């Protein structure tokens, strides 16, 4: 079960938005998720 999203979490989090169709030539979530560890750095 996921933890509820609270104001405390929101205030200490970094939220990114990505345009999946333009992120890579494939434009798929699979390609994007493979790059998540690199993006996290």
Cα–Cα distances (Å) from 40 to 13, 19, 22, 34, 35, in that order, read 13, 17, 19, 11, 9
Enter the pTM of the model: 0.54
Report residue 28 as tokens: 């798929």
Residue in this structure with the two tokens 């989090």, named with its chain if needed? 13
Residue ranges of the domains in the chain?
Answer: 7-40
pLDDT band at 37, cuts 50/70/90?
very high
d(CA 2, CA 8): 16
Give the model confidence (pLDDT) of 9-31 as tens digits. Answer: 889 988 889 999 999 999 999 99
């Amino acid at each position: 079960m996921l933890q509820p999203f609270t104001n405390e979490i929101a205030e200490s989090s970094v939220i990114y938005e990505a345009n999946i169709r333009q992120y890579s030539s494939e434009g798929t979530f699979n390609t994007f998720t493979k790059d998540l560890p690199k993006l996290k750095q």
